[in-house]
Amino acid sequence: MDNDKVIEALNKILEFELAGVVRYTHYSLMIFGYNRIPIVKWLRDQANESLTHANQAGEHITTLGGHPSLKIASLLETHKHAIHDILEESLQHEKTQVENFKTLLTLVTGHSIFLEEYARKMISDEETHISEVVKMLRKAA
């Protein structure tokens, strides 16, 4: 296993998770209207989960002898705060993170069951988020 490449992949994951904390916190502050309370709660739960995921990635980095990044992945401020727009942006963020975890999985497969299982679990979690966001974007019949 190439530790340097694995640490690099984990740092990218860490940076995306930290961006998720900022992104979802920002979104939660920009929700208005009748459904504000449950949507704000969901977004803040997503921000908290992103922080948990960032901590997990950071722990793996330090376990491998690496140094966790202080960077945050790019945050694009579109100034579009309609719920539909927020959900579309969230969907793209989650899809990118799935690809980041798939990269990690490719790097660790056959080398570390521990990191393989971590990557698989995170892919599953992110795909679950994607399916929830897709359902929220779907128009009621």
> Can you give the pLDDT of all 141 residues of the chain as single tens digits?
999 999 999 999 999 999 999 999 999 999 999 989 999 999 999 999 999 999 999 999 999 999 999 999 988 777 888 899 999 999 999 999 999 999 999 999 999 999 999 999 999 999 999 999 999 999 877
Rounded to whole angstroms, the Cα distance separating 18 from 124 reads: 19
Give the CA-trace dihedral at 59, 61, 67, 68, to 10 degrees: -60
Q: Is residue 74 part of a domain?
A: no
What CATH number is associated with residue 98? Answer: 1.20.1260.10
The pLDDT assigned to 30 comes to 93
The pLDDT assigned to 77 comes to 77
Q: Is residue 76 part of a domain?
A: no
Q: How many CA atoms lie within 13 A of 32 on its CB side?
A: 4
The pLDDT assigned to 76 comes to 76
The pLDDT assigned to 111 comes to 97
Q: Is residue 75 part of a domain?
A: no
Q: Is residue 27 part of a domain?
A: yes
Q: Which domain holds residue 13?
A: 3-69+81-137
**Rg for the chain (alpha carbons), in Å?**
16
Q: Is residue 94 part of a domain?
A: yes
Rounded to whole angstroms, the Cα distance separating 113 from 96 reads: 23
Count up the domains in the chain and report the number.
Answer: 1
85-95 per-position pLDDT tens digit: 999 999 999 99
Q: Is residue 122 part of a domain?
A: yes
